[in-house]
Structure 1
Amino acid sequence: MADSDGPSSPRLMLLQKELESGYPGALKNFWEEIAANGTPLIEPIDDDSEQSLVTFLWQAKDELPGISVVSLLTDQVVNKMTRMLETDLWYFTCQARSDLRLTYQLEPYRPDDEPVDGDDYAALIARFSKMKEDSFNPRTFVFEKDEEDPESFELVRSVIELPQAPAPVQPWIEQREGVPRGKVEQYRLRSEILNNQRRVWVYTPPDYASTRSEPYTLLVLFDGRAYVNHVPTPTILDNLIDAGLIQPVVAVFPDSLSSSIRLQELVLHPPFNEFLAKELIPWIQSNFHVTDNPQKMVIGGASAGGLAAAYAAMELPDIFGNVLSQSGAFRFGLPREEGHEWLTRQFAATEKLPLKFYLDAGSLETKSLRQIGDAPNLLESNHNFRKVLEEKGYDVHYHEFSGGHDYISWRGTLSDGLLYLLDSASQ
């Protein structure tokens, strides 16, 4: 839906008519309305309850060549806003499913709005660092700057939830009155294999006891800082344990150090699996009362972390028996080698392993600011991975949520994966 011939939003159509007719105070009244009600504008579509009109707005304080909306709502990730007449109002309207929940940002206009080449990750990070939140939208998802990561910067994304977004809204992510809370402690672990040192956060459940007769189930999630703070896994575990839906679990969250190191370690990197097998897991088992039964050990992560989890389980099935992948980046091939979806091809070519899988991906993950050659999109590559697993006879649960590639969805679906893999009735 293009705005080049004028606004398609009923509210903006009315405003433009008022401006063209010289209606006094029309623009001032409009901005006061927006300041009171927030953005984006969400309007119904006649005779189509499953779709809504979504209009993003920007009030230009200075002259600028333009502003763009960066989101997965349309086939084009970056959409330039249109200026209304000669005013300070810029807008972009699109049609979207009414059950979506996702984040978006605004970006100063760039002559080149093409996706960033997949090998130029630094360019992608630099581009994200210049994006802005929507100043009229009070709902934000904030990634604080990590003072220990030299590549880190504060990233603020605006949140949009359309009228039919699943309810209740992610019920396990809020702390509940009366629910006992586990403990999260931070450690430092030196790796001789990877020649680095990282933070490792460890969650122990309420009433954790090293003398417990049965060792605790173990959960390992990559991108530890994000899974501790932004998801938030400790609160989710507290609530699920208190509700009796999962048994008490010890959760371990290794840090990713930086964006560039993360991409190296989590994308099909054999030394990282060696680190898991010879350093991280032995350290955990030496310091915490956790199981060594693969069927009670879960490894997981999001995006490259989901890929790394499945790769680790394939290489180390005697350690990890369960994989929790959120929007796993299965489209990747081996670094510096031709061919995409390497891990999917490996599972197709090998005998079935004693592994159980939870996979999810977003309905909007069909495009990205990052272009990886002619690789299939993330959603398609998850479909392909799921198909191979099912054809091999694996126990696999796949969930496709209404949203995009971000933690605002993953924090809600993490509990689905935990419930499937750690169902207390099956322990």
Structure 2
Amino acid sequence: MPEESSPRIAQLKRELESGSADALSSFWRELEERQAPLVEPIPDHPTERLVTFVWRGMPQTRNVVLFARYAADDDIEKHLLKRLGESDLWYKTYRLRSDLRSVYQFSPNDSLVPFKDVTDYRARIRGFQADPLNARRFEFPKDEEDPDDFLQVLSLLELPDAPAQPWITPHGDVPAGKVEMQRLKSSILENERRVWIYTPPGYSAESVEPYGLLVCFDGIAYIDVVPTPTIIENLLHAGKIPPLVVVVPDSLNQQTRNRELPCYQPHVDFLTRELLPWVRERYHVTSDPARTIVAGASYGGLAAAYAAMQAPEVFGNVLSQSGSYWWGKAHPEDHTPEWLVQQFDQRERLPLRFYLEVGLFEPYEAMVLSNRHLRSVLQDKGYDLCYREFAGGHDYACWRGSLADGLQFLLPAGSPTSRRHPQQSE
């Protein structure tokens, strides 16, 4: 990103150079009232803003690095804050789209070790801090069953034209459903995992019509970080979607996730032969693929599309958020990038519908390009799909808002029973 200059910082610099004794303290008071980061208009460029991140240093501060989802590259030097003279102000200005949404943290006295050289990711980020001048927070709660996990508190940047996220906030007048956690052993995957089950308000095992079904990967991330229950309750209350039961299996740990989610047939077998039969024994849910969504983010999006391709008689709808379609098989005989994209290109059209989205500031360009490629392949094949790109990175702060868009596209209220799978009825 090019070096940018903040008019407010330039003004402060002039004031300090002229000997103004109160200039710096006045600036900090201003930031405490307005909240950071500092956002300034750019004349004749209404779709962009100058955004200045600031940190109040201590005498022992050697450096400060900004880590933001919209700038998730590995060039740490590009995101070092500058110190204003001998003052306690460290700052960095960016020119950003006015519809950007992103989380960010600061790392004072950072090691400057690139992430590509990191062997212990959690240790690397443990010292990152939220912006003390920004009251808007975004949290990744600690997993109490993981002794190495910890609460992550990030700051939230939402520029003036960022898309509204009206469905993520709880409302007292909206009826609430129920979330319960159970455990399921898998003989196929040879492990045991937590499974969260959400049932909507008024759920009844005696209802005439089975409930629609959403299967979403990555466990607690789609219960707490993305408030899926709240989103569904608000949409349901507004008459936007039909009642859904949500099944959210845990991914256990990063090593297991990296093995099971990227186009792994045993994982599909687990879903179709163990998880869903187990769910249907306990909950009154549909067996119609046209009323069943499989969803996930990143590797989870890739896994959702793969599961639907392999089992279209089970999953008729794919909701993919920043799916990792760049992925290629790494076997010695097959180094094919975008492997799943090619599979959809080579096969006949399946009875599937897709909601695909990707951020314009993903950590690497292949994420965006592979999603665009999959979109084009699916369009050429005649699939029914909605494709969107948003001004953000690989970021739950974005995904939590757009999950509602995917649900409304795939299962709008009033129409799911009219789109039954051609080979199956209830």
**TM-score for both structures, normalised by structure 2:** 0.91
274, 281, 297: which one pairs with 1:279?
274
Q: Decide whether aligned partners of structure 1 residues 363 and 2 sit closer, same or farther in structure 2, where only a CA change above 3 A counts.
A: closer
In the alignment, the residues of structure 2 paired with residue 191 and residue 242 of structure 1 have an alpha-carbon distance, to the nearest angstrom, of 36
The answer for the alignment partner of 1:240 in structure 2 is 235
What is residue 231 of structure 1 aligned with on the other side?
226
Show structure 2 runs of 5+ residues with no match.
417-426
Does structure 1 residue 198 correspond to structure 2 residue 193? yes
What is residue 424 of structure 2 aligned with on the other side?
A: none
The DSSP-based 3-state class of the residue aligned with 2:309 is helix
CA RMSD of aligned residues (A): 1.9
Q: Which residue of 2 aligns with 1:406?
A: 395
Query: Cα deviations across residues 259-281 of structure 1 (Å, max 9, x unaligned)?
Result: 22222221222221111111101
Q: 1:160 aligns with which of 157, 160, 163?
A: 157
State the distance in 2 between where 1:153 and 1:335 align. Answer: 32
- Native 8 Å contact 1:116 1:124 kept in 2: no
CA separation in 1, counterparts of 2:121 and 2:344? 30
Shift of 1:424: 1.8
Once residues 348 and 67 of structure 1 are traced to their aligned partners in structure 2, the CA distance between those partners, rounded to angstroms, is: 46
Q: Which range moves more in the overlay, 29-38 or 313-322?
A: 29-38
1:144 aligns to 2:141 (yes or no): yes
Q: Write the mapping of 1:259-338 to structure 2, written as runs, cut at 5 A.
A: 259-336=254-331, 338=335
**Matching residue within 401, 405, 412 for 1:423:** 412
8 Å Cα contact 1:217/1:249 also seen in 2: yes
**1:15 correspondence with 2:12:** yes
Looking at structure 2, the residues matched to 275 and 416 of structure 1 have their Cα atoms a distance apart, in angstroms, of: 28
Establish whether residue 356 from structure 1 lines up as the match of residue 345 from structure 2: no
Residue 106 of structure 1 corresponds to which residue in structure 2?
Answer: 106
Residue 75 of structure 1: how far off its partner (Å): 8.4
Deviations 1:316-367 (A, max 9, x none): 11111110001111111124552321111111111211111111111222x3
**2:85 aligned residue:** 85
**How far off is 1:74 after superposition?**
5.0
Amino acid at match of 2:246: A
- Counterpart of 2:321, as a letter, is Q
Q: Distance in 2 between matches of 1:196 and 1:62?
A: 51
Residue by residue over 1:47-76, the C-alpha shift from the partner in whole angstroms, topping out at 9 and shown as x without a partner, is 111111000011112323311112244585
Deviating more after overlay: 239-248 vs 285-294: 239-248
| CA deviation profile, 1:187-246 (whole Å, cap 9, x unmatched) | 111112112211111111122111112211111011120111121111111111122221
Structure 2 counterpart of 1:62, from 37, 59, 66: 59
CA change 1:237–1:344 in 2 (3 A) is: same
Letter in 2 for 1:143: F
Answer yes or no: is the 8 Å Cα contact 2:71–2:393 preserved in 1.
no
State the partner residue of 1:384.
373
Check conservation: 1:149, 1:257, Cα contact below 8 A.
no
Contact 1:74 / 1:94 at 8 angstroms: preserved in 2? no
Query: Does the Cα contact within 8 Å between 1:107 and 1:130 map onto a contact in 2?
Result: yes
Is structure 2 residue 390 aligned with structure 1 residue 395? no
Q: Which residue of 2 aligns with 1:31?
A: 28
Distance 1:214 1:260, change over 3 A: same
Partner in structure 2 of residue 372 of structure 1 = none
Instruction: Check whether the contact 2:137–2:156 (CA below 8 A) recurs between aligned residues.
Output: yes
Task: Write the deviation string for residues 110-147 of structure 1: whole angstroms up to 9, x where unpaired.
Answer: 57564527xx7x54444333322112111110101102
Are residues 1:253 and 2:248 paired? yes
Distance 1:391 1:123, change over 3 A: farther
Q: Quote the sequence identity (%).
A: 48
Q: 1:53 is matched with which residue?
A: 50
Cα 1:62–1:263 change in 2 (3 A) is farther
Kept in 1: contact 2:216–2:246 (CA 8 A)? yes
SS of structure 2 residue aligned to 1:425: coil
Contact 1:150–1:258 under 8 Å retained in 2: no
> Matched residue of 1:145: which SS?
coil
